[in-house]
Amino acid sequence: MNRPELQPVVRLREPRVHWPLLIGVLGLMVMGGLFIASAVLARPGADQLPFHRTGWFRQIIWYALGLGVGTVAVWKDYRVLARWATVLYGLSLLLLVAVLIPGIGSTQGWGARRWIDLGPFQFQPSELAKLTFILAMADFLSRPKPELQRPAIFWRGLAMALVPFLLVLKEPDLGSSLVFLPVALVMMFVAGVPTRYLTRWVGAVAAVGLILVVDVLWLPAEWQPIKLEPYQKRRLMVYFGRPVIPRDATEQERIAALRAYRDAAYSVNQALISVGSGGLWGKGWRQGTQNALGYLPRGVAHNDFIFSVIAEESGFVGSMIVLALYATVLFSGLHIAAGARDLLGRLLATGIVAFLFVHVFINIGMHLRLVPVTGIPLPLLSYGGTSVLVTLLAAGLLHNVYTHRRTD
């Protein structure tokens, strides 16, 4: 295949920086730094740690590294990067397989095998896979419209999403795995895949979801066609506010089931109390009792539940600021997508927007009990190196699409 020569672009009168995007990202990092500090400094013994070992300091290091990576990602034209998409996608899949192997993958003391231990820090392949998947998907879908009408393209695109989905589900990490499907859906939608395929697909996913819910909440254990992890079942029960106790359970089993349910409901309830008790103005930075007194579980207050800390301490005003910052970033993304020079850029931008949006919606929605609890980080606000790096890398790519936009 012959490739057209890259056109030298005249950008003299065009702004080089997409300021709203940059301001949104920087604003989120400021919020993240502030409230991760609030969350981790409230822990007992936090004042004895040297500052370079505290969570907020590490997070700032990650921010700095991420900004560097993001800047690099802006540099090279995304069309050049896209040539490596398939390779990167393949590599990510390899890593996702590798993480399932006990010798390579690490559980970090949790139930799931999600991390690869790299000495000083841990790396979560699923986070990287989300990004390489977007790149590969964008590359795959950027083809002439008639081709996109073909069912084969749709099925192959679906397969590209399902492979990482299943691998991540196997870890198990339901939350992260669920990201792939809506992202793929949005990208296909923007690419121009006929909506009848997409609606059918959405219908199928909804049906599976319904079966899952019915399965967990109403069917006896031996009939359940889909086996979920016990904690996943519990999360669904908590979401629907209904503890499931087998009818033939003994008194002790009943008590155990109820206790498990209460424990599972605990963090959600505490998150809701935290958010709600913030009121309009919040309790003030580092004044949140829910966090300081440990009602919010210490293990998650600074990562998956960081929004509780923000909402409790800065109130409705603070959560609106967070929402506004995300809206800035996301709408900037759509703006960049609309202004992209080609379908690849547009798909890359919308993929990234969808990726960020799914995280934001699920995480904040989980605090409001709009969605069941899934361990999914809030981009740039949650503590966690991989998430920060990947998010900033994604923002860099987004900006790349902007930098190398159509200039006519």
Partner 1 sequence: MMEGFEHVPRVDARIRVLRWALGIALGILATGLWYVQIVSGERYASRARQQTYRTVRVPAVRGRILDRHGVVLADNRPSFQLVLYVEELRPLYDEVYSRLRRGRRLDAAGREVLRRQARYWVASNVVQELSRVIEMPLSLDERTFHRHHNQWPYRPLPLLEDAPREAVARFLEQAAFVPGVDLEVLPLRRYPHGSLAAHALGYLTRDDQARDPDEEAFNYSLPTYQGAVGVERGFDEALRGRPGLKSIVVNSLCYREAETVWRSATPGDHVYLTLDARLQAAVVRAFEPLGPYARGAAVVLDVENGDILAMASLPAFDPNEFMGPISAERWESWMNNPLFRPMFNRATQGAYPPGSIFKIVTALAAYDSGVLHPGNLDAELDNPGYYQLGRRRIDDTAPPGRYDFQRAFRRSSNTYFIHYGLEAGLEAIVRMGRRFFLGERTGLPTWQETKGYFPTVEDARRRWGRGNLANVCIGQEITMTPLQAAVLTAAIANGGRVVRPRLVERVEPAETNLGRRTRWFPSETRGELGVDREFLRVIREAMLSDTEDPEGTAYRAFHQRDGTPRLKRFRVGGKTGTAQVERRGRVVDHITWFVSFGPAEQPRYAVVVMVESGASGGGTCAPVACRIYQAIEQLEADATPPTLAMSR
User: Using CB under 8 A as the criterion, which residues of the chain lie in contact with partner 1 when the complex forms?
Assistant: 1, 3-4, 79, 139, 142-144, 147, 186, 189-190, 192, 272-280, 289-290, 292-295, 311, 315-316, 319-320, 323, 326-327, 330-331, 334, 337-344, 346-347, 350, 353, 357, 360-361, 364-365, 368, 370, 406
Q: Find, among 40, 27, 61, the residue nearest to 309 by Cα.
A: 40
Which amino acid, one-letter code, is at 330? Answer: L
Residue 69 CB, nearest approach to partner 1 (Å): 26
Nearer residue to partner 1 within complex by CB, 57 or 316: 316
Distance CA 403, CA 243 (A): 52
Residues 6 or more apart from 138 whose CB is under 8 A from it?
82, 85, 187, 344, 347, 348, 351
Residues 6 or more apart from 307 whose CB is under 8 A from it?
271, 275, 319, 322, 363, 364, 367, 378, 381
From residue 241, how far is each of 237, 261, 313, 402 by CA, in Å? 6, 9, 27, 45
Distance CA 124, CA 129 (A): 9
Distance CA 75, CA 396 (A): 9
Residue 220 CB, nearest approach to partner 1 (Å): 26
Query: 122 has which bridge partners?
Result: 117
Residue 323 CB, nearest approach to partner 1 (Å): 6
Nearer residue to partner 1 within complex by CB, 120 or 144: 144
Distance CA 281, CA 318 (A): 7
DSSP letters spanning 104-150: TEE-TTSSS--EEEETTEEE-HHHHHHHHHHHHHHHHH-S-HHHHTS
Residue 97 CB, nearest approach to partner 1 (Å): 25
CB 275 within 8 A of CB 363: no
Residue 223 CB, nearest approach to partner 1 (Å): 29
Residue 82 CB, nearest approach to partner 1 (Å): 9
Nearer residue to partner 1 within complex by CB, 166 or 320: 320
Nearer residue to partner 1 within complex by CB, 121 or 406: 406
From residue 3, how far is each of 7, 88, 141 by CA, in Å? 12, 21, 17
Residue 385 CB, nearest approach to partner 1 (Å): 26
Residue 350 CB, nearest approach to partner 1 (Å): 7
Rg of the Cα trace of the chain?
22
How many other C-beta atoms lie within 10 A of the C-beta of residue 62?
A: 22
CB 183 within 8 A of CB 133: yes
Nearer residue to partner 1 within complex by CB, 172 or 192: 192
Nearer residue to partner 1 within complex by CB, 220 or 230: 230
Nearer residue to partner 1 within complex by CB, 330 or 376: 330
Residue 288 CB, nearest approach to partner 1 (Å): 9
Nearer residue to partner 1 within complex by CB, 350 or 403: 350
286 in helix, strand or coil? Answer: coil
Nearer residue to partner 1 within complex by CB, 95 or 300: 300
